[in-house]
A and B are shown apart, each in its own frame.
Chain A
Amino acid sequence: ALLAATPNPDYQLMDKPTSEKDITSYNNYYEFGTGKSDPFENAHKLQTRPWTVSVEGEVARPRTFDIDDLLKLAPIEERVYRLRCVEAWSMVIPWSGYSLSTLLKAVEPTSKAKFVEFTTVVQKDNMPGVGSRIIDWPYVEGLRIDEAMHPLAMLVLGVYGKQLPNQNGAPLRLVVPWKYGFKSGKSIVKIRLLENMPMTSWVKIAPQEYGFYANVNPQVPHPRWSQATERRIGDGFFAPRVDTLMYNGYAEQVASLYEGMDLRKNY
């Protein structure tokens, strides 16, 4: 289904957008299997209606939003963001949605709200991947409150002018463009504001490989590969890899969030 979105001139890129076919057929969504084409093949079973998102925890006005409320909460903007996967590939994607801060402000976080936790849906009968033990389902991700309130952090409801395809995290997902893709949880059903840093799925699985922050950083290699360069999806068979940018090219906007932090320790 179409999703009308107005391009936001503040968030456009010179980079050529990745094709819709590549964006919707090459995905990491382990609930549907670990292969890159598994989500495309299996995600049609996901039930995306009815859908509610409960926003709770350290907030003055906890509330359960219906997906239709969220589609109307703010004007839908189109923003073209770079997406950098921790596996060293990247895309350029025209997302539709609005800043996550719009939703968070609606529930009025208290002064105790220091972190935000995002929980992905689990539909056992519809998700062939949740039978495996790779992740202790449901998939959980988190942000620091100042990261979550940053205007770049986006609540996404569509891509390429259409409602999100299931394999991309329908009916709504998070997109945090300066962090590795796994931070951007898909098919979100619960958002909790917390005083303490939540335990997130990949930190639980392999803390030596995946940190809570997971900011894109070409200078800090993953233990099993370099993060200095990336393969831009769709660039062709013999295209050279491109240099990875600090904070995925969003350093100007977000570097101040991490001032004084040792990025080698807080990877």
Chain B
Amino acid sequence: MSAQQIGAPGTRNWTAREVARVKPLVFLLALYPLARWIWLGTHDGLSANPPEFLIRSSGIWALVLLGLTLCVTPLRRLLRQPALVRLRRMLGLFAFFYTCLHVLGWAYWERGWTLTSMWADIVQRTFILVGVLAFVPMVALAITSTRGWIHRLGRGWQQLHRSVYMIAILSVWHFWLVRAGKNDFAEPYLYGALLAGLLLIRVFYFYRRRSV
């Protein structure tokens, strides 16, 4: 089946090459948080507590990029532009990039690069444990995101990469736990609702496809 056939009537389908052309633009947009930190850092804008600011900010942006990654498939279906999948890996890797900065920020500023101290934090605190449980499979997804691994894993690749749903749920849960002590749930609820929406769209398409 060619891409032309599943496109919306009257609209032309974007070719893979056309989507690839906007990739540099998406790449630059995804670097916005990093550019913002650098600008704030050179303009006295990282608050009185820069480590806290950067750990929190990188966590939020990791979540945003993860959400955007999960938007790709629903968007492909809604716009009937399957070639948009060409943006997915890059967005996913950016989610991983900001997650890594978040984890490194914690390891350095909170735990002073001390492995025993990191381990103590993980076993003592549920929210850290949940964060780690989200991070570890993310590493596996990032490593296996290359063309070579897609071929090597075959059908298993898709199954492995479905764990992104679990990663996203754990990430929102981690965020919720961080705010739990202060009853300040507005943001975790917002991210939770958006994630629930993104997952429900998938459930909807799954059943529709089965009933056809």
> A residues touching B (Cβ–Cβ < 8 Å)?
18, 21-22, 25-26, 34, 36-37, 89, 132-135, 205-206, 209, 221, 223-226, 231, 233-234, 237, 240-241
Known: A25-B47, A225-B125, A241-B109. 4 other contacts (CB 8 A): A206-B181, A231-B51, A231-B52, A237-B51
Main SS of chain A's interface residues? loop
Task: Judge whether B182 is part of the interface by a CB distance below 8 angstroms.
Answer: yes
| Nearest chain B residue, comparing its CB with the CB of A226 | B121
In contact, B51 and A36 (Cβ under 8 angstroms): no
Q: How far apart sit A36 and B52, CA to CA, in the bound complex (Å)? A: 11
Q: Is the CB of A241 within 8 A of B48?
A: no
Q: Which residues of A are found within 8 Å of B51, using beta-carbon distances?
A: 231, 237
Which of A37, A132, A224 neighbours the largest number of chain B CB atoms within 10 Å of its CB? A224
B116, CB-defined interface residue at 8 Å: no
Given A221-B124, A231-B52, A231-B109, the answer on whether A37 and B47 have CB atoms closer than 8 Å is yes
Complex Cα spacing A145 to B165, Å = 54
Sort chain B's interface into a size bin. Answer: 20 to 34
Indicate if the CB atoms of B49 and A89 lie closer than 8 Å: yes
Contact of A134 among B47, B50, B183 (CB under 8 A): B183
* A36 pairs with B125, CB closer than 8 A: no
For the complex, what is the distance from the CA of A239 to the CA of B186, rounded to whole Å?
33
Closest to A206 in B: B181
Given known pairs A223-B125, A224-B127, A226-B121, the reply for A25 and B183 (CB within 8 Å) is no
Contact B183 A206 (CB under 8 A): yes
Within 8 A of A (CB), among B27-49: 47-49
In the complex, which residues of chain B have a beta carbon less than 8 angstroms from the beta carbon of A221? 124
Residues of chain B in range 119-176 having any CB-CB distance to chain A below 8 Å: 120-121, 124-125, 127
CB pair A209 B47 closer than 8 Å: no
List the B residue with the shortest CB-CB distance to A22. Answer: B48
A-B contact count (CB 8 A): 56
Shortest Cβ distance from A147 into chain B, in angstroms? 24
Let me know if B112 is at the binding interface, CB within 8 A: yes
**Chain A CB within 8 A of B18 CB:** no
The docked-state distance in angstroms from the alpha carbon of A21 to that of B47 is 10
Neighbouring B residues of A89 by C-beta, 8 Å? 49, 52
Q: Please, how many angstroms separate the alpha-carbon atoms of A22 and B53 in the complex?
A: 14
Residues of B within 8 A of A223 (CB): 125, 181
Task: Tell me which residues across on chain A come within 8 A of B121, comparing CB atoms.
Answer: 225-226
In the complex, the answer to whether A26 meets B49 with C-beta atoms within 8 Å is: yes
19 contacts between A and B (CB under 8 A): A22-B48, A25-B47, A26-B49, A34-B184, A36-B47, A132-B184, A133-B183, A205-B182, A205-B183, A209-B181, A223-B181, A224-B125, A224-B127, A224-B180, A225-B110, A225-B121, A226-B120, A231-B51, A237-B50
Residues of A within 8 A of B124 (CB): 221, 226
Given contacts A134-B183, A206-B183, A241-B112, contact A26 B48 (CB under 8 A): yes
Tell me, in angstroms, the Cα distance from A244 to B186 when the chains sit together: 32
**Nearest Cβ on chain B to A214's Cβ, whole angstroms:** 14
Shortest distance from the beta carbon of A231 to any chain B beta carbon, whole Å: 6
Closest Cβ of chain B: how far from A32's Cβ, in Å?
14
For A225, the chain B residues whose CB sits under 8 A away are 110, 121, 125
A234, B127: Cα distance in complex, Å: 27
Chain B contacts for A21, CB-based, 8 A:
48
**Is the beta-carbon distance between B112 and A234 smaller than 8 angstroms?**
no
Known contacts A34-B182, A134-B184, A231-B52: does B125 contact A26 (CB below 8 Å)? Answer: no
| Residues on A with beta carbons closer than 8 Å to the beta carbon of B184 | 34, 132, 134
CB-based nearest B residue for A221: B124
Determine how close the nearest CB of chain B comes to the CB of A118; give it in whole angstroms: 20
CA gap between A223 and B177 in the complex, in Å: 11
Chain A hits for B183, CB < 8 A: 133-135, 205-206
How long is the Cα–Cα vector from A92 to B19 in the complex, in angstroms?
A: 55
User: Knowing A209-B181, A224-B125, A224-B127 touch, does A25 contact B49 (C-beta < 8 A)?
Assistant: no
Residues on B with beta carbons closer than 8 Å to the beta carbon of A224: 125, 127, 177-178, 180-181
Docked-complex contact B49 and A240, CB < 8 angstroms:
no
A237 to B120, CA, bound (A): 24
B115 to chain A, nearest CB (A): 15
